[in-house]
Structure 1
Amino acid sequence: MIAGLSKAINLYLAPLLALTSFILILFSYLAPIIIFPTGVSLLTVSPSLQLTDAHSSQGVDGPSVFLGALGSCTRPTNDASVTCTAPTVSPQYDLSVLPSNAPDLLSAPTATTPAFIAVSLVFTAIFFLIFTMTAFRGKMGKFGNTFDKPAVQRATAWIGLLGFLIGITSFLVLRMWFGKAVEDFNRDISKEGADAPQLIAATSNGFISTYYRRFD
């Protein structure tokens, strides 16, 4: 029984975890432009009194911006509908809903960053397919013998490694870029005091799912 359980874990769990990680990265990459326009993003600017009146418990309504690797989504108020830019690997973020006295956010990262993430996703998808077929090669008859070859297994390992390195490097660049944008934006809001727009910027949950996948 223990041997059967161990075999099942090796056979089914590893491909399942690989698929889960790929889906999480894909969600982080496509959001908020294509999916989850207000649910998943890399950076958000939202209405808040935290920087201008930290002791107030009053709710505040105002514009929100959700930035991702492929573009941005905005809404002028909490109850308004969301408008998104067209997805592109060279995003131009729409910040028009922010008040004129709001600090400037850093421009979008270089076009190569989203493009490299796309390359990483392609490598990851290829790795997942070959890795899954390798795991199930015993059930594939003669065709499964192909995946017993050392050259195929080495190639699979290199594809997975390249996908990992390209992806983690690209997301780290985005994290540092957006982290700097958040720091500068919030510092400028704090300096203006009570006259500043009631906004706060923060890196968002898109990075959480990515880091969970990369370091789990």
Structure 2
Amino acid sequence: MLSQFRPAIFMILLFTAFTGLAYPLAIAAIAQLAFAVQANGGLIERDGKVVGSALIGQNFVSDRYFHGRPSATLGSDPADPAKMVEAPYNAANSMGSNLGPTSKKLVDRVNGAIEAEFAAGRIGMVAADAATTSASGLDPDISPQYALAQVAAVAKARGLAEDRVQALVEAHSDNRIFGVFGEPRVNVLKLNMALDTLR
């Protein structure tokens, strides 16, 4: 009987060491070598202080900053922890809205976002990411079209010339990876940090 247990225990220990220790450590080492920024959370610092992550969006609400796309993430209601309330860019609760195209709540939210953009004078034509949420609710990037549509409002709020703000957007626009993968994009946090350096 003991002769049957020995190989089983040995195999459990061997595969625990391999899949529970060696493999994760090897993948972590490869990630640190090949993708160090992403493996460490894409943290962005200013004056030695972490101000955010290039991989997770933030909720910019001031007219002085470029806005990210809407976020459908939720958080606990401070008044009643049993209930959930809207909490944009809540990284602890990443999710999309899961609302279908026939959902009145979705239609109302999209129409409300479009009306808000027009009312703020940020857009003349609505970019899709100005009114729709991402699958994670944490998307840190917007399309160059949405960023350019916000130039006039941001320039006005800051008292800057529109061409300077537009040049900043164009300088911070990234193309498709290898010219094939993904879509052109602008990282909102990096753009807003660069905007703060303009005088």
Which of the five TM-score ranges fits, normalised by the shorter chain?
under 0.3
TM-score (normalizing by structure 2): 0.25
